[in-house]
Structures are given as C-alpha cells and as structure tokens.
Amino acid sequence: MAVRKPDWTTAAVRPELLFHYSEDPGIEAFVPHVPASNPASEPSVWAIEARYAPLYWFPRDCPRAAVWANDPDQLRDLRARFDTTAERVHFAFGRDEQWIHATQLYEYSFAATPFAPWPDAEGQWIASTAVRPAERRTMTDLVVTQVGAGVDLRFIDDLASVRDEIVGSGLPFSIVRLAAGL
C-alpha cells in the first residue's frame, strides 16, 4: 500500500503501541475495510497514538469537535482563544452528556510495526493487513476518563458555531460525526 507523506502539524514518529476504541468487546482481529464515511480510501485498519486517543473516548456515533496544541506557541493560542488551562479542548452536545458517561468502551492495543502514518489525520495510523490486538482494556465513564486525562471537556448546545471557531483558529483539530448531529 502506498501511503503519502503525512500532512500533520507535527512529525509522525512511530510509537511502540497504537490503539483502537470500540463498543464491541469481542474483536479478535481487525480486518482492513473501506469505511462508509470515506468510500474513496483503500481498505485499512485504523489505529491512533496514545496522545491523540482522547479523540475517541466517546460513543462511536457521538458528534464531537476537538482542538489541541502541539507546541508552546500553539498552547498560548489555544489557551487564549478557548479560555482554558488545558492542552486539549473537546466539545460535545449537552444532550449527549449522559450517553458519554454511560458508554463502556474497549481499548484495543497493537504493536505499531504493521502500521504506517495515515496522512489524512494527525496521530492516526493504518495497516493494510489484518492485525490482532495485543490487549483489551475496559473503559467506563468516559467523561471522568477525559477529565482525569486533563482534557477540558465542554458540553454545549451549538457545535456548529464552535466548529467554525476551531477551523478558523489555525490550531490542530478533529471534527467527528458533526454533520449527522446537526
């Protein structure tokens, strides 16, 4: 599989472990597939680096937006623009707060060896062959988990307005399933 050079805001450095988060506790092997949300992509298995993992500490179909800093200049900008002391700010609909509290996730970990950086999303890696997880860990109360990891998690009524602020900030960001939730 040919993978273009990542267009990330930080260098892609292969970690020892990568992670995948799912509400399914029984995945024995992850098989390459083409996601419905990205039908032009090659069949792949997706995984994420630990420092970006909080992006996926939500129910799969939960709309959310996130913005973070990778260096001291970005951190100053993030803190000023979003009035936070954190290095990462996540936004979700207020209506989804109890859903996020109640969802149980399973963190699957993998050796990073078969993965290459996915150029389309910072911190994400892809494999073109099936991979078996090394371990599975159960995660409960995803709100508490995020806050405990230093994420400034905010529940708001209008994700569309914060989306525009995030995209216009010039900071690294992720927006997941937002169109479906509006």
CA-closest candidate to residue 44, choices 115, 113, 104:
115
Compute the distance between CA of residue 126 and CA of residue 128 in angstroms, rounded to an integer. Answer: 7
Q: What is the pTM of this model?
A: 0.88
pLDDT of the residue at 2: 44
Amino acid 179: pLDDT: 67
Contact indicator for 126, 149 with CB cutoff of 8 Å = no
Give the Å distances, CA to CA, from 83 to 61, 80, 95, 143, 161. Answer: 28, 5, 23, 20, 16
Within 10 angstroms of residue 114's Cβ, the number of other Cβ atoms is 16
**Residue pLDDT tens, the chain, 182 long:** 444 444 567 777 789 999 999 999 999 999 999 988 788 888 999 999 999 999 999 999 999 999 999 999 999 999 999 999 999 999 999 999 999 999 999 999 999 999 999 888 889 999 999 999 999 999 999 999 999 999 999 999 999 889 999 999 999 999 988 765 44
Token pair of 57, please?
């500490």
Instruction: Find the DSSP H helices in 54-158.
Output: 72-82, 97-102, 142-148
What is the spatial distance between Cα 31 and Cα 54, in angstroms, rounded to a whole number?
Answer: 23
Q: Quick one: how far is CA 114 from the chain centroid?
A: 20
